[in-house]
Amino acid sequence: GQNIDQPTEMTATEGAIVQINCTYQTSGFNGLFWYQQHAGEAPTFLSYNVLDGLEEKGRFSSFLSRSKGYSYLLLKELQMKDSASYLCAVRDSNYQLIWGAGTKLIIKP
């Protein structure tokens, strides 16, 4: 079966750095996405990786290792507004997105 694993919840301190991991087992691979979802709101796109390596976008970076079936989202200089759930999703060989259950990130002052 297809599976996306990510931690259920993480806590970090304002101003710090946090890394949210995602491991996947899917039928084929056509890219990995990270989305941010604030409570009661719609998911919004953060990043896309299809090749191995690090993609940096401001305070957020996303890393992919296809051989390990592994990705992480790195958030730097954490702000209170970063409190949200972070969703990892992999596009499989049929170009359908398989979603993880999301990681709820709690930022403390």
Partner 1 sequence: TAGITQAPTSQILAAGRSMTLRCTQDMRHNAMYWYRQDLGLGLRLIHYSNTAGTTGKGEVPDGYSVSRANTDDFPLTLASAVPSQTSVYFCASSPSSGSTGELFFGEGSRLTVL
Site residues (CB under 8 A) for partner 1?
Answer: 4, 30-31, 33, 35, 41-45, 48, 50, 87, 89, 95-102
* Residues 71, 46 contacting (CB under 8 angstroms): no
In angstroms, what is the minimal distance from the CB of 67 to partner 1?
21
Q: How far is the CB of 73 from partner 1 (least distance, A)?
A: 15
Between 80 and 95, CB nearer to partner 1: 95
Shortest gap between Cβ of 109 and partner 1 (angstroms)?
27
Q: Which is nearer to partner 1, 95 or 109 (CB)?
A: 95
- Cite the beta strand spans of 1-109 per DSSP E: 3-5, 9-13, 18-25, 32-37, 44-49, 53-57, 60-65, 70-75, 84-91, 97-99, 103-108
Instruction: State which residue, 35 or 72, has the beta carbon closest to partner 1.
Output: 35
Q: What is the DSSP string of 39-65?
A: TTS--EEEEEE-SSEEEEETTEEEEEE
